[in-house]
Amino acid sequence: MAGGQRAATRRSGAPLRRVPVQERSAARVQRMLDACADLVDELGYDGLTTTLLAERAGVAIGSVYQFFPDKRAVVQALTLRNLETYLGRIGHRFGEGGFTHWWDGVDAVIDEYVTMQRHTPGFRGLHFGDIVDVHLLDPELDNNAVIVRELRDLLVRQFELTADERLDFALTVAVETGDALIKLAFRRAPDGDPGVIAEAKTLIRQYLSGYVRD
């Protein structure tokens, strides 16, 4: 989780009007984010309203606006929470050890993304925010570029890879390719077509093997 927390603190333009200090307020904000995730699954982003959000979370509409200026900000906060969860899950997998090569780490990155697509409310409808704004995670970088930066840092720390422009370029292509193929997998089957997911792993391994210098 520490990696995700660092990622969040590096970004400007935080979606919250104010950070909840009291435990009760923090819990209320989390209920709002949970409600947002459920409503995005049910209605999509366009169907989400702050009124529905307040009703689902069991809070007054004023409580929503106390912390968020609009529904976009709520979705941005949910997306940042999903990113922290994703990076935390990958960091945990890396921390467990057992990887003999960097491509085992790449497989873990894909596996955790697929798991969140299957089981994390709101994630399939939002991914990392592109459905709302390609700059939802960072005002200066597109959303996948943020993912590339965070994955690069994890892979470099774990496998002592050479951090350079060559690696950044390769990971950018790999992330864009993997994102497209996993979306295809979930269009073909509700839980993700396992054949497409396996092909995504193979393709990305083969591609990165020509770029990554360890």
Model confidence pLDDT, tens digit, residues 50-102 = 999 999 999 999 999 999 999 999 999 999 999 999 999 998 988 887 787 88
Asked whether residue 184 is assigned to any structural domain, the reply reads yes
Low-confidence residues in the chain, pLDDT < 70: 1-14, 16-19, 21, 213-214
For the chain, count helices (H), then strands (E).
10, 0
Asked whether residue 25 is assigned to any structural domain, the reply reads yes
- Domain hosting 110: range is 2-209
Asked whether residue 125 is assigned to any structural domain, the reply reads yes
Asked whether residue 214 is assigned to any structural domain, the reply reads no
User: Would you state the pLDDT for residue 15?
Assistant: 75
User: Would you state the pLDDT for residue 10?
Assistant: 39
User: Would you state the pLDDT for residue 204?
Assistant: 95
Asked whether residue 117 is assigned to any structural domain, the reply reads yes
What does DSSP assign to residue 58? T
CA separation, residue 182 to residues 39, 72, 85, 153 (Å): 23, 25, 19, 22
User: Would you state the pLDDT for residue 17?
Assistant: 62
- For the packed helices 143-159 and 102-119, what is the interaxial angle rounded to 10 degrees? 140
Domain count, the chain: 1
Mean pLDDT for the chain overall: 87
User: Would you state the pLDDT for residue 7?
Assistant: 41
The alpha carbon dihedral of 154, 109, 135, 206 has a sign of: positive
User: Would you state the pLDDT for residue 22?
Assistant: 77
Residue with tokens 């700059």: 135
Distance CA 16, CA 60 (A): 17
Asked whether residue 112 is assigned to any structural domain, the reply reads yes
Residue 138 backbone phi and psi in degrees, to 5:
-155, 130
- Can you point out the beta strands (E) in 45-174? none
82: closest CA among 136, 43, 28?
A: 136
User: Would you state the pLDDT for residue 14?
Assistant: 60
Rg of the chain over Cα atoms, rounded to whole angstroms, equals 18
pTM across the whole model: 0.84
Asked whether residue 169 is assigned to any structural domain, the reply reads yes
The CATH number of residue 16's host domain is 1.10.357.10
121: closest CA among 41, 47, 191?
A: 41
100 three-state secondary structure: coil
39: closest CA among 11, 64, 67?
A: 64
Contact in structure between 48 and 132 (CB atoms under 8 Å): no
CA separation, residue 41 to residues 36, 48, 109 (Å): 9, 10, 23
Asked whether residue 59 is assigned to any structural domain, the reply reads yes
User: Would you state the pLDDT for residue 98?
Assistant: 77
